[in-house]
């Protein structure tokens, strides 16, 4: 298909830029209780909803390429869908199909990993997020690979689980660890294999950093998983119980690292000739550990002696940089993104966010592409995130992002700008209710500053989200009642993304586009790409999901 954009005959586009604002984690709640978007003081967002064309969009499940509508959306696949204007099968779907069909085990990488441990009598290791959240990984994929490894004669396997509590209930670790230990016991029952949990820790404490925000997390993970250094516990269950007792109220995602030991020694350090599989399929929190295993000239931290191992990722996390070198499932090749179309048309673009979501408005928005399409036409601005718990500064960098954004709008340089405000998502994951309310209000303050800037520049705002989170902060029973914490008497916090839709608002103060909302229903966030193109004065490209508006009539 052609990359050439066709102009809309009777509409030339706005004088100023079209600015796409992604309010990360700000959805439309199903329940009043626990909806901290609804309860927040947000006069600017409320005014926009009362006065501007707006609709709701799906941001989860099949609408963003997940296996079923029981699967939540997330920022990675959300920005993929927004940026490319259509829906691709995502990592969760691709890996689930590869495991279920057995295609994964017929691939060259799997065969190499197995052959390596068989040739050396060494250990097969699995590192990854340990839940069924289906955002970064799925525990069923891990179980499938372990069962297959036993079938293929792998005698020894070690698992290094990263406890979730973020995409699943915040203190649910034992709900996964105990059944998994039973699963391992069944595999071990005939005495032919020795499969065991070797180390672990909370996902926000060890290993799963992203965008190089805190390499200390990865260094701690390396020390724990690879070198087997740290406090020894007889089992993962014993470790979790002891760590919770030491810090009452701690969430799974924040649990310190642990090492499982026998006879005073770690059961599963990673040594020469082992095979290591990072079973996360999502790339943003997998790339740094991949670098630590793969790079010969590695500077972020002292690894000590690097073991000579065969390393593979569940998927390729960066196709342009070929990271990792070996991977089990081929990711989707996403082409013809809105960024590529606009670069080909000669339009100037800006992408801006703070570190926590910078990769989303660049790499993921561009279809998992690290490089720009045209260096002369595209600018990327990363505002460094604070290295403090999000609940302690729930405003995050919203003010600084807005400062830079207003400068860009006033410069007259850019035709299309995309920005992500991470607050509703990153603070929503903490489960600290007052902080979540402030996070949403901080984004609203930013909108209040953008409105006059857009009005003065003659531009158009498109305001939406990649998924929900802050809109659903309480755990609810099936009948809709709020689940209460027996210890505190307060509602149980829900820290995962929601399954709720998200808003889509068109703010065109001069009514230049004369935009009329479509009467199509059931659209998803993938329709935002065509919407932005239409508002810029271009027709919807072939194969794109429908625009939310018709313009120029």
Q: Are 312 and 327 in contact (CB under 8 A)?
A: yes
- By the 10 Å C-beta count (0-12 exposed, 13-18 middle, 19+ buried), 139 is classed as buried
Helix axes 173-188, 236-246, angle to 10 degrees: 160
Task: Give the integer Cα–Cα distance in Å for 83 and 339.
Answer: 7
How many alpha carbons fall within 13 Å on the CB side of residue 262?
6
**Active-site residue flag, 172:** no
Q: Answer whether the bond into residue 324 is a cis peptide, omega within 30°.
A: yes
Rama region for 393: left / alpha / beta (φ>0; ψ in -120 to 50; rest): beta
Q: Is 177 helix (H, G, I), strand (E, B) or coil?
A: helix
Give me the catalytic one of 2, 39, 75, 131: 75
**Helix residue ranges, H only, 60-102:** 75-84, 91-101
Closest to 158 measured CA to CA, from 187, 192, 127: 127
Q: Please give the span between the terminal C-alpha atoms of the chain, in angstroms, as a whole number.
A: 28
Q: Give strand ranges (E) for 164-289.
A: 194-197, 199-202, 232-233, 258-262, 265-266, 275-278
Give the active site residues: 75
């Amino acid at each position: 298909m052609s990359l050439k954009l066709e102009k809309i005959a009777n509409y030339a586009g706005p004088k100023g830029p079209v600015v796409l604002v992604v309010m990360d984690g700000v959805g439309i709640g199903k329940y009043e209780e626990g909806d901290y978007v609804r309860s927040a003081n947000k006069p600017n967002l409320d005014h926009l909803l009362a006065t501007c064309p707006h609709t709701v969009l799906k941001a989860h499940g099949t609408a963003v390429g997940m296996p079923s509508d029981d699967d939540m959306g997330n920022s990675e696949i959300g920005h993929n869908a927004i940026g490319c204007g259509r829906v691709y099968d995502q990592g969760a779907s691709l890996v689930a199909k590869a495991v279920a069909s057995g295609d994964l085990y017929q691939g060259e990488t799997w065969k190499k990993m197995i052959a390596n441990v068989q040739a050396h009598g060494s250990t097969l290791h699995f590192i990854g997020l340990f839940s069924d959240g289906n955002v970064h990984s799925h525990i069923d994929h891990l179980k499938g690979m372990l069962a297959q490894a036993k079938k293929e004669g792998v005698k020894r396997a070690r698992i290094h689980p990263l406890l979730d509590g973020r995409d699943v209930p915040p203190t649910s670790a034992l709900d996964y660890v105990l059944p998994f230990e039973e699963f391992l016991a069944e595999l071990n029952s005939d005495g032919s294999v020795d499969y065991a949990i070797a180390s672990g820790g909370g996902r926000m404490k060890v290993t799963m950093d992203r965008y190089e925000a805190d390499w200390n997390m990865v260094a701690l993970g390396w020390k724990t998983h690879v070198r087997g250094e740290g406090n020894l516990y007889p089992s993962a269950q014993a470790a979790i119980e002891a760590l919770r007792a030491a810090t009452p109220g701690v969430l799974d995602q924040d649990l310190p690292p642990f090492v499982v030991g026998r006879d005073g020694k770690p059961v599963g350090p990673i040594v020469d000739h082992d095979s290591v599989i990072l079973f996360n399929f999502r790339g943003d929190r997998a790339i740094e550990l991949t670098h630590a295993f793969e790079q010969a000239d590695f500077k972020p931290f002292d690894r000590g002696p690097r073991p000579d191992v065969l390393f593979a990722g569940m998927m390729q996390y960066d196709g342009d940089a070929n990271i990792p070198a070996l991977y089990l499932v081929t990711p989707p090749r996403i082409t013809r993104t809105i960024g590529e179309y606009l670069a080909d048309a000669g339009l100037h673009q800006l992408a801006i966010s703070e570190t926590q979501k910078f990769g989303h408005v660049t790499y993921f928005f561009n279809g998992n592409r690290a490089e720009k399409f045209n260096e002369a036409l595209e600018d990327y601005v990363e505002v460094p995130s604070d290295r403090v718990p999000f609940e302690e500064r729930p405003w995050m960098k919203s003010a600084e992002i807005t400062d830079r954004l207003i400068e860009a709008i006033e410069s007259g340089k850019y035709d299309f700008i995309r920005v992500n405000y991470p607050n509703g998502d990153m603070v929503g994951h903490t489960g600290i209710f007052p902080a979540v309310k402030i996070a949403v209000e901080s984004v609203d303050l930013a909108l209040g500053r953008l409105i006059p800037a857009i009005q003065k520049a003659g531009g158009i705002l498109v305001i939406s989200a990649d998924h929900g989170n802050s809109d659903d902060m309480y755990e609810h029973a099936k009948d809709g009642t709020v689940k209460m914490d027996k210890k505190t008497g307060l509602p149980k916090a829900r820290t995962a993304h929601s399954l709720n839709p998200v808003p889509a608002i068109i703010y065109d103060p001069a009514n230049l586009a004369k935009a009329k909302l479509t009467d199509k229903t059931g659209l998803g966030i993938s329709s935002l790409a065509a919407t932005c193109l239409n508002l810029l004065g271009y027709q919807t490209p072939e194969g794109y999901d429908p625009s939310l508006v018709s313009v120029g009539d």
